[in-house]
Structure 1
């Protein structure tokens, strides 16, 4: 999507699919649901005690656009086909469609119970100056060779691997990691090179094994396979995250890169995403991406974010540090586009916005703020 066009909440386009095809039927259900402004129009079909919570989360219009735009910009054909089957299986049932939109937000707009991509509470904590290696960079590089073969990679191990692979710089701005510059002044030998505090930026940032909660009994029964975040990503993303990340799960170079604080926060909030670059011959340029910024080209440039980035592969001895996996980057991009085009991004920001709960309890809207905080706690807390 061009940087000059914001993916603002947009009505679903007329059905573009072949009449009679299963995807045509699925998209038609989305179009039908989009015509309703509130769930009260389905009063005869809904049971208040099991439906009220999920219905209040998303309006019919937003739920319809979540599903409709997910069909249009799905990260893979496998994921699109899986979503088609689930929508058709709802048979226009409003509670099931709302529940499916709620679940679909995990891999497609990441506003689900365990949000693995959307992480508005801030980036992965950086390794502090006292934790960062103070040994010579040459010796540090030699030590890296022993990190990747380990059965699990710690946060500190990952930090070292990424700094080496990403040339001790933010991938978005090119600014040199401040702590690295303190350790080796040759990193900023050229005049005008910026430094900044950098962090490990995960593409998928929350556990894939935690259980899903917050849906109604009818939705749980219909979509009984949707028990964990990893299962939902596999269903609608069209790939197994564990096949990509192996036993390292989230702490893998395939799932992370080095980023300065500001662009990292924008990436976590889905306001910044990456799209593959066409090579002009029907293929794509490996590991090269255009940076898409929701707030526009002018602001992107003003905050120093580059228009195009290329991830590198690093080699240390016989060990290779791979670049971020393209399927994870594509999943994140789909999340961002669907979130903004459906209007669910505003729902996410409202759920996760910061509030001083102590002071707000004396305000007239105290009941609303407490309800919102409790709902957000449910979204990010695992079930047992």
Structure 2
């Protein structure tokens, strides 16, 4: 459920960073005004504009990176360009249309790859790693195999032992209490690594997503994940099937525990109520010195999840996709206008600096 932005005084009390950064406070004031105008508006776009304003506001209160200056400048400079409120709505729109769908993946479960490598491939890989050969996965299958080795053939959250690995006698130690399907989960989706061969709409989506990440100071994400590097172990988790689905739907994320490397609070959000025991905290460890998931990548995913829910964007986008499925033709009364707007905007090229 969406949460209104706190007023200026409450924001300064709850988010001390605003007290120490005058420009960020000025930017927040502009966003509060945009939120107020959206609440008071009777226009059809008022609901989406309210979500967009709150996205920008929560991004100021929960910065995606330690250096939010480029994003803050984007908000403050809107005041210089005129039509401040409209510029803030546009900034929120870009985030809602490009960054949130990047992680909130709407695709059928059957489309997910969950290949289980054969025993010989695991044996060869195990020998290579023991011989101090650092892995370099080039595709989904290799990435899954090496992640399973790293994660001791089990879900990194629940400890569920991968059933195929257990059947292949790859799991050491006593008989596990639970087995089940696990999947190779990319934090940044696989499609982000490959621009070649993509249709123009997809290329525009990916380019704009990277542009938005650049605005948050993450200028090195694109080269880190280009091509087959999207399968790097830093971008991969091993999760039970159900956990994978909720991770992709922004209902499960990991927030770093201060001063504890690779320790995370496990955050779940309604309507996800796990049917098994999920610990409050996990600490990721690696077998054979294989790289662990990147704290930066998990931080970006966590910020996206948190802000999507606080702003109401996650619920709104879910409704958009449900309406797309339920409305094969446009409704004559205009009820399908938000659906049409959302998908038409995805076709418009607006890739800024």
TM-score range, shorter chain: 0.7 to 0.9
Which residue does the alignment assign to 1:217? none
Displacement after TM superposition at 1:128 (Å): 3.3
Q: Distance in 1 between matches of 2:102 and 2:97?
A: 7
Displacement after TM superposition at 1:174 (Å): 0.8
Displacement after TM superposition at 1:39 (Å): 9.0
Secondary structure, counterpart of 2:7 in structure 1: coil
Distance 1:156 1:57, change over 3 A: farther
Matched ranges for 1:109-128 at <5 A: 110-111=99-100, 115-121=101-107, 125-128=112-115
Q: Distance in 1 between matches of 2:133 and 2:347?
A: 31
Q: Which has the higher contact order (CA 8 A, sep 6+)?
A: 1
Q: Distance in 2 between matches of 1:371 and 1:314?
A: 48
User: Which of 249, 256, 264 lines up with 1:269 in the alignment?
Assistant: 249
Which residue does the alignment assign to 1:93? 84
Q: What does the per-residue CA deviation read over 1:169-215, in whole Å, with 9 as the maximum and x for residues that have no partner?
A: 11121111121111117558425x2111111111111416759979x
Which residue does the alignment assign to 1:196? 180
User: Which of 348, 368, 371 lines up with 2:317 in the alignment?
Assistant: 348
Distance 1:158 1:380, change over 3 A: farther
Q: Distance in 2 between matches of 1:200 and 1:379?
A: 28
Instruction: Mark the runs of 5 or more structure 1 residues left unpaired by the alignment.
Output: 1-7, 44-54, 215-219, 221-225, 279-283
Matched ranges for 1:155-170 at <5 A: 155-170=140-155
Instruction: Mark the runs of 5 or more structure 2 residues left unpaired by the alignment.
Output: 13-17
Secondary structure, counterpart of 2:216 in structure 1: helix
Root-mean-square deviation over aligned CA pairs: 3.9
Relative to its length, the structure with more helix (as a share) is 2
Displacement after TM superposition at 1:30 (Å): 0.5
Which residue does the alignment assign to 1:234? 214
User: Which of 94, 97, 102 lines up with 2:93 in the alignment?
Assistant: 102
Q: Distance in 1 between matches of 2:271 and 2:185?
A: 22
Q: Distance in 1 between matches of 2:227 and 2:331?
A: 49
Q: Distance in 2 between matches of 1:117 and 1:367?
A: 29
TM-score normalised by structure 2 residue count: 0.79
TM-score normalised by structure 1 residue count: 0.73
User: Which of 57, 66, 87 lines up with 1:68 in the alignment?
Assistant: 57
Q: What does the per-residue CA deviation read over 1:229-274, in whole Å, with 9 as the maximum and x for residues that have no partner?
A: 2222122254521354466432111111111111111111111111
Secondary structure, counterpart of 1:135 in structure 2: helix
User: Which of 175, 179, 192 lines up with 1:207 in the alignment?
Assistant: 192
Stretches (4+) displaced over 6 A:
211-214, 362-367, 380-384
Distance 1:237 1:355, change over 3 A: same
Displacement after TM superposition at 1:75 (Å): 2.2
Q: Distance in 1 between matches of 2:305 and 2:20?
A: 29
User: Which of 68, 73, 82 lines up with 2:70 in the alignment?
Assistant: 82
Q: Distance in 2 between matches of 1:305 and 1:377?
A: 40
Displacement after TM superposition at 1:303 (Å): 2.7
Q: Distance in 2 between matches of 1:127 and 1:40?
A: 47
